[in-house]
Each structure stands twice: as C-alpha cells, then as structure tokens.
Structure 1
Amino acid sequence: MLIVMRPDATAQDIERVNDEIRRRGWQPHAIPGGTRTAVGITGNPGAVEPEPFRVLPGVADAVAISQPFKLVSREVKPDDTQLRIGDLTIGGSAFHVIAGPCSVESREQILSTAHAVKKAGATMLRGGAFKPRTSPYEFQGLKGDGLALLAEARQETGLLVTTEVKDTATLQAVADTTDILQIGARNMQNFSLLEAVGDLRKPVMLKRGMSATIKELLMAAEYIVARGNTQVILCERGIRTFETMTRNTLDLNAVPMLKALSHLPVFVDPSHGIGVRKAVPAMMRAATAVGADGIIVEVHPDPPRAKSDGAQSLDFSEFEKSMNEVRAIAQAMGREVVRLG
C-alpha cells in the first residue's frame, strides 16, 4: 500500500499517517517526490484496507502496489532517484564511469591507476581490498592495507572510492573508508549483509547475482531500502548461461527493464559481463547506448601481470580510447560523461 499525500500536506499530516501505520504494527517509509510525499507500508501480512487512510487529513489517495518489491518500485516513486555522493550526482542526465583494478596490489599500482583513470575521465576509483574468491588459494586482497591505499589514492586524486564489502565482520572497516559500498554478485542474497548495509546511511552498489533474475535483484535491493537506506545503485554484471566463449552473458536487456520497474540508478559492469579484454570496449559502448547511468570498468597498469581478473582488464591506453567513444555515444543520448575538474 502507498499513501499518497497532497502537495499541501503538512509535516503533521504525514506524521499522523505514520502513527496510524505504526499503530497497526507495520512500518512507514516516507518517500519524498518532486511535488509531494508518499508513505509506503511494509510489514503488513496481507492486503491493506485503504479507506482508514484516505480519510486522514492531507491524504490524496491510498493505492495498492502490485509489485512485491515495494519501496524500490516505480509505482511507489515515479520519478528517478538521484543520489548525491560527495560533490557528485548519480542519475539524471549525468553519466559516471568508475574504473580501477580488480584488486589493490601495491601503492604504486593503485596510485598510478587512479591518476590514469582520472585523466581519462573517470570520477570514481574501484579496487578490491577484501576479495571473495572462488578458490581459497587465490589472492584474497591486502585487506586493511588495501583500504589505506584506497584512502591515499582518494586524497591524492579527488576520486571517490568504491570497494567490495565481503561480510558483516569487515563491514565497518570498509564503510569507514569507502564512499560507495559494493555488494558483489556472490553476496547479492546474503540477507544478513543486506540488512547490515541497510542500517548504514551510505551509498550501496548492489551487483546482480550470477544466476539471479531481475526480480531477485530488485528484491535484494528491497532488503536494503526497507531498513532505511535509500541510497542504492543497481548493477548488471552479467549472468551465467550455457555460453562458454565468454565469462558471463552481459544481460543488457536488464537495463531498460530495471529502468521501467524501479526508480533506482542502474550501472553496468562490462568487464565481468563478458570477461574478455578485447571485447570490453564494445560492451562499454553498448551499456552507454542502452541507457545506463554509468559503468564500472576494470583497469590495470599491466593486465597480464594482474593478481586477479587480468584477462578482462584494460590497460591505460585502451581505457582512454574507450572513454572517448563512450563520451561520443553519451552525447548522442543526451547524457554528459561527468569528469572531475
């Protein structure tokens, strides 16, 4: 159920609605819009009778929500959500590029990459400090030292930082350093972790699980938003199919579908999406053309010697060339590739 307030509704009117929802044992969620506020209801075991809410002062209507993902649904919030992170706005006409290595490997590696991707036009730096890997014998990241190096790179370049949070045990350490918490594909349905990041008031990039449906991705986002954290970015990063020539199948169908179903910003990860270095630039162009709000790309100073994901990482010259192509496509789409001054 969504309680739609009139444009002239007062703060007291909204609180009266909240009190009535709480009185029934449910949870209210205020959803500010362009001209008026709506209040979503969660925790109800079944259908909600609309009339008791329609008669309250300041209420324009009470309408049922057809989707199981309530708070992230475009039914609840018709206008796009735009996130303010530092001095940057995610969403709207802005198009952002996040770039950097799969893993932070050394001070020289991360600082040189940060300067290179900023020069090419990225606004944010990615780099893993705590790395969940398929094999326990593979490089697991520099952990706390990696976080310190990311912080140094941000201080030196002005780039915002995103890094993956692996579990609830290391969440606070990551949250203290990063500007965007990244939930990786393997953790998309780690509900304890989703609830924990939902309790933080920090932007989250939620990656689609490798075998997850679009609905399951949106339900995972609902876990975060239902806990009060509305700063969520959805990320399509490829799904596992029968195809073996690529690492994954980049489901660009998901972008317009997510845009139609949800008000949240949508990014694409072309590196994981295809997993083949020479094909990543084409997927960067495609993601831009299909209407994503940004892309997150793996870039490394020496991909063949990378400790993780070198086969899908661009070197500096390849990334710079691809950024020029992305800018041209974004301009044709009426978008601006934001860059730092």
Structure 2
Amino acid sequence: MIVVMKASCSEENIEHVLTVLEKHGLTGHPSRGVERTVIGVLGAVGPSGAPGAIGGINPTIGETLESLPCVDSVLRVSKPYKLASREFHPENTTVEVPVACVDGGSVFIGGDAVVMMAGPCTVESEKQLMTTAEAVRKEGAVILRGGAFKPSTSPYGFRGLGEEGLRLLAKARSEFGMAVITEVMTPSDVPMVCEYADILQIGTRNMQNYMLLDEVGRTQKPVVLKRGMSATFEEWLLAAEYVLSQGNRNVILCERGIRTFEKMTRNTMDISAIPLIKQISHLPIISDPSQGTGRRDLVTPMTLASVAAGTDALLIEVHPNPDEALKDGAQSLTLDQFQQLMPQLQAVAGAIGRTVITK
C-alpha cells in the first residue's frame, strides 16, 4: 500500500501517518520527491485487524489513512516486490560511492553521468592487478573491479586469492584513488569483505542465496546484484527486495546476460532489461558485457549498446595479457582495447545527452 501525501504536508504530518501505521503493526517508508512525499507501507494485516494475519491489508486502515487531512490518496501496490517498485518509490534512486580520484570525492550511480568500473576478472598477482589498475584509471575508469573470491563451475578451476586478493585491491585503491568492487560469496565473509571493498557484488549464482542477501542487507555498503543466469525480472527484483527489506537502500542491479539455447556466446546479453527495469523500478541498473557475452570481440559493441539503452554504469573485464589469464581470459579486453573503447563510450554517451565520469 502507498500513502500519497498532499503537496502542502509538513514533516509533522508525515510523522503522524507513520505513528498511525505503527499502531496497526505496519512500517512506513517515506520517499520525499520534488513535488510531494509518498509513504510505502509494509506489513501484512488480515481482515481481523491482527498484525501478521493472512489476507492482506485491512481495508479499514486505508479508510483511516484517507480520512487524515494531510493524505491525498491511498493506493495498493500491485507488484510482489514493494521496496524495489517504482510505485513505491517514484523518484530514481542514486547510490553514492566514495571515490578519492574524482572531483568531490564521490560518484553517484543512477544519476545523469555514466560510471566506468574496470579491472581483471580475478586478482592473480600484485603485478597483474597494479598494471591493470594503473592502465584503466589512466583512461578514465573510477571503480576497480577484481575478484578475490571466485565461484568456478569446476572445483579444479582457479578460485581466487582470498583475503590476500582483498589486501591487493585495497593497496590499488590507496595508490590510484579508485573505489573497489569485489564479490562476496558467503554470509560469514561479509564482515571481512566490507573491511576492504567499497561495493559488494552478488554474483549470478548467488542471486537467490537469501541468507547472503539478508547479510549484505544489514550493511550500508552499496550492493551490486547480478541477475541470475535464468532469472526473470520479477525474481531478480524480489532478490533485491531481500536486501532492501533489511534496511540497505544502496542496491544496484546488474544485467550480465542470461542462459538461452544459443551456444555461440557464453550468455545472451539482454539489453532490453535496461530500459524495462527503469520503467518498473527506481533502482540503478548497470551492465556487464564481459560476462554477458563471454567474447572479447563483442564487449565493445555491447558496451555501446548498453549506454544507448540507458545503463548507469559499465562493469568491464580488462587484463594485461588475457591469453594467459587464470580466469575468463576470452572475455577480457586488452589494455589497448580498453583504451580504444573509452572515446567511443564518451561519444555515444554524449549523443544521448549524458557524460562519462572520468575525474
């Protein structure tokens, strides 16, 4: 349920509505827009009026709220995902990430500018990471990606350096001023990864790991939630709901390709997800063309297509020598290819009235 407040309402009026909701065992989440405030209501109240009963919100509560002079209208949310829906939160959400190398010391994902996140799929060594970080920062990337813990289809594949990889990422952040995004795989690892990372990444295999989603939801770190390899939009947004419902509003969705019958690419990159998500959700959405295609030769065109479709940021894999990479070398750009990509990215962004944050 959504309570739409009148444009003239005061903070005192909003607090009064929240108090009324609390008395009925409900929780209100105010969203203050440019023109008016709406309050999203969470909690199940049955026909008997007892909190937690099955059957949906008691109609008399809606009537009570509508009778308040500060309330304009009361609407039911039709989506199963409440906090992630645009009905619940009409204004676009922007997620602030501290980045020392840019003017102002922060970037906002979900705003007018596009943000570049780039780096190796997996941290392999200090030399490999530092070489890559220096190169991508020079070309304008402001967030460094790199996996310290890596899920692998085969138990014999390289699974990352663990905490040593996190320490190397922190060293690169200190040297080049970039923020760090890295994957967290288990609930017990969340506190440790939070010590080193600026953004927590939830990979495709963990999109429905609900204990992990709850745990990152208890932090206030930005969370990039990758779409499950076979997930529908509703399943994806319900996964985001887990994080949001724990109090963490800093959720960023990531389209990284889905599994289809096609075998010429590793995944099928669903560019349509970008504009569609922007219609039904207020959350920022970014794209990962490296994972999305699994092919180095397709990363640049899919990057440009993602920008044209409205992506808020890019997550690109770059490696000094992809042919010798321990993980996913076939989808990693060389340093020269990344250098060639950035001017094209800026040109496409400029053509649709956006900019790319580089400093």
> If the length of structure 2 is used for normalisation, what is the TM-score?
0.92
Task: Name 1:183's counterpart in structure 2.
Answer: 202
Q: Unpaired segments of 5 or more residues in structure 2?
A: 45-53, 99-105
From 232, 255, 258, give the equivalent of 2:251. 232
Partners in 1 of 2:140 and 2:58 — Cα distance?
A: 49
Q: CA deviation at 1:11?
A: 2.9
Change in 2 beyond 3 A, CA 1:316/1:233: same
Partners in 1 of 2:141 and 2:58 — Cα distance?
A: 46
1:142-188: CA deviation from partner (whole Å, max 9, x where unpaired) = 11111111111111111111000101010111112111111110010
From 222, 226, 247, give the equivalent of 1:203. 222
1:177-206: CA deviation from partner (whole Å, max 9, x where unpaired) = 111111110010111111111111111110
Q: Which moved more, 1:69-78 or 1:290-299?
A: 69-78
Alignment of 1:145 with 2:157, yes or no, is no
Task: Name 1:70's counterpart in structure 2.
Answer: 82
1:102-138: CA deviation from partner (whole Å, max 9, x where unpaired) = 1111111111111111111111000001112111111
Aligned residues, how many? 340
Three-state SS of the structure 2 residue aligned to 1:28 is strand
Task: Name 2:63's counterpart in structure 1.
Answer: 51
Q: CA deviation at 1:32?
A: 2.6
Q: Which moved more, 1:52-61 or 1:312-321?
A: 52-61
Partners in 2 of 1:186 and 1:14 — Cα distance?
A: 40
Alignment of 1:84 with 2:96, yes or no, is yes
Task: Name 1:258's counterpart in structure 2.
Answer: 277
Task: Name 1:216's counterpart in structure 2.
Answer: 235
Task: Name 2:102's counterpart in structure 1.
Answer: none
Q: Which moved more, 1:219-228 or 1:305-314?
A: 219-228
Partners in 1 of 2:242 and 2:108 — Cα distance?
A: 23
1:51-87: CA deviation from partner (whole Å, max 9, x where unpaired) = 1112235322211111111111111222211122121
Q: CA deviation at 1:219?
A: 1.0
Partners in 1 of 2:37 and 2:131 — Cα distance?
A: 46
Three-state SS of the structure 2 residue aligned to 1:170 is helix
- Over 4 Å off, 4+ runs: none
Task: Name 1:155's counterpart in structure 2.
Answer: 174
Task: Name 1:276's counterpart in structure 2.
Answer: 295
Partners in 1 of 2:66 and 2:327 — Cα distance?
A: 56
Partners in 2 of 1:195 and 1:227 — Cα distance?
A: 6
Q: Unpaired segments of 5 or more residues in structure 1?
A: none
Three-state SS of the structure 2 residue aligned to 1:326 is helix
Partners in 2 of 1:176 and 1:57 — Cα distance?
A: 47
Task: Name 1:301's counterpart in structure 2.
Answer: 320
Partners in 2 of 1:300 and 1:48 — Cα distance?
A: 57
Task: Name 2:14's counterpart in structure 1.
Answer: 14
Q: Which moved more, 1:129-138 or 1:3-12?
A: 3-12
Task: Name 2:23's counterpart in structure 1.
Answer: 23
Q: CA deviation at 1:48?
A: 4.4
Larger radius of gyration, structure 1 or 2?
2
Task: Name 1:316's counterpart in structure 2.
Answer: 335
Partners in 1 of 2:133 and 2:342 — Cα distance?
A: 15
Change in 2 beyond 3 A, CA 1:84/1:137: same
Q: Percent same amino acid among aligned pairs?
A: 49
Partners in 1 of 2:316 and 2:17 — Cα distance?
A: 44
Superposed CA RMSD in Å reads 1.3
